[in-house]
Amino acid sequence: MIREIKTEKLPIKMWVEDIEQGALEQARNLANFPFAVRHVALMPDCHQGFGMPIGGVMATKGVIVPNAVGVDIGCGMCALQTSLEDIKRDELKQLLAGIRSMVPLGHRHHKKSQDPRRMPPVEGRGPIPVVMREYKSATRQLGTLGGGNHFIEIQKGSDGRIWIMVHSGSRNIGKQVADHYNRLAVKLNQEWGSPVPRSHQLAYLPLDSREGKQYISEMNYCIEFAYASRKLMMDNTVGVFRSFFGSELKIAPVINIAHNYAAVEEHFGMELVVHRKGATKADKDTTGIIPGSQGANSYIVKGKGNKESFNSCSHGAGRTMGRKEAIRSLDLREEVRKLEEKGIVHAIRSQRDLEEASSAYKDISKVMALQSDLVEVLVELKPLAVIKG
Rounded Cα distance, 22 and 384, in Å: 35
Residue type, 224: E
What is the distance between the alpha carbons of residues 349 and 274, in angstroms, rounded to a whole number?
40
Beta bridge partners of 146: none
Please say if 315 is a catalytic residue.
yes
Burial class, 365, CB count within 10 angstroms (exposed 0-12 / middle 13-18 / buried 19+): middle
Instruction: Enter the DSSP assignment of 251.
Output: B
The C-alpha R_g of the chain, in whole angstroms, comes to 20
Which strand (E) or helix (H) includes residue 281? Answer: strand 279-281
- Number of helices (H), then strands (E), belonging to the chain: the values are 8, 17
Which runs of consecutive H residues, i.e. helices, occur in the chain? 21-31, 89-102, 129-141, 171-192, 210-245, 323-329, 332-341, 364-370
What would the 3-class secondary structure string for 40-92 be?
EEEEEEEECCCCCCEEEEEEECCEECHHHCCCCCCCEEEEEEECCCCCCHHHH
Which of 39, 275, 315, 346 does the annotation list as catalytic?
Answer: 315
Question: Phi and psi for 42 in degrees, rounded to 5?
Answer: -115, 125
- The residues annotated as belonging to the active site are 315
